[in-house]
């Protein structure tokens, strides 16, 4: 995605592609051979989420940013439920903070606020599915109070 800056692609498109690549990396990490890609997916998605704020594309096009943040977070929740808790929860938590930060900037009654609410609900449901993820279930309610 970084090559898009050289070809004058829109910042929102580049950021969305970076977040989608992070989500794809987390999805690839479901295979045992690619399990090491999970932490790289967390770093990739987190970096592109921060770049989105730094260049201002998160506020300029909140819809594409929020959709890709939600995609990355849901992939992280799936990874936490099926495989390793630490990488999946870190990905979901990072993306939830990105959605909350954008929602606090542009308003909670916006696409970013809806994304935050969906991620909190998805975290609560995922946490309720397994005893090893019960902390995430309680954390989702804490995040709902925070938001």
C-alpha span between 15 and 5 (Å, rounded):
10
Tens digit of each residue's pLDDT (9 = 90 or more) over 42-69: 999 999 999 999 999 999 999 999 999 9
**Alpha carbons 18 and 45: distance in angstroms, whole number:** 7
**Is-contact 71 25, C-beta < 8 A?**
no
pLDDT above 90 for 112? yes
Q: What percent of the chain has pLDDT over 90?
A: 61
**Terminal C-alpha separation, the chain:** 31
Q: What is the mean pLDDT of the chain?
A: 89
Residue 63: give the domain boundaries.
Answer: 3-146
Residue 7 has pLDDT above 90, yes or no: no
CA–CA separation, 15 vs 4, rounded Å? 10
pTM for the full predicted model: 0.88
pLDDT tens digits, residue range 75-107? Answer: 999 999 898 888 998 999 899 999 999 999 999
Q: How far is CA 28 from the centre of its chain?
A: 16
Whether 137 has a pLDDT exceeding 70, the answer reads no
Please give the tally of structural domains in the chain.
Answer: 1
């Amino acid at each position: 995605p970084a090559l898009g800056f050289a070809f004058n692609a829109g910042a929102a498109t580049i950021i969305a592609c970076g977040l989608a690549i992070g989500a794809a990396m987390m999805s690839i990490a479901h295979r045992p051979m690619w399990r090491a890609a999970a932490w790289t997916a967390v770093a990739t998605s987190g970096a592109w989420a921060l770049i989105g704020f730094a260049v201002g594309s998160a506020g300029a096009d909140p819809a594409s940013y929020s959709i890709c943040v939600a995609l990355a977070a849901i992939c992280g929740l799936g990874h936490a439920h099926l495989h390793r808790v630490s990488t999946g929860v870190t990905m979901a938590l990072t993306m939830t903070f990105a959605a909350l930060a954008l929602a606090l900037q542009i308003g909670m009654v916006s696409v970013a606020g809806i994304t935050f609410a969906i991620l909190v609900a998805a975290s609560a449901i995922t946490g309720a599915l397994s005893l090893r993820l019960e902390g995430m279930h309680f954390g989702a309610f804490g995040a709902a109070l925070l938001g």
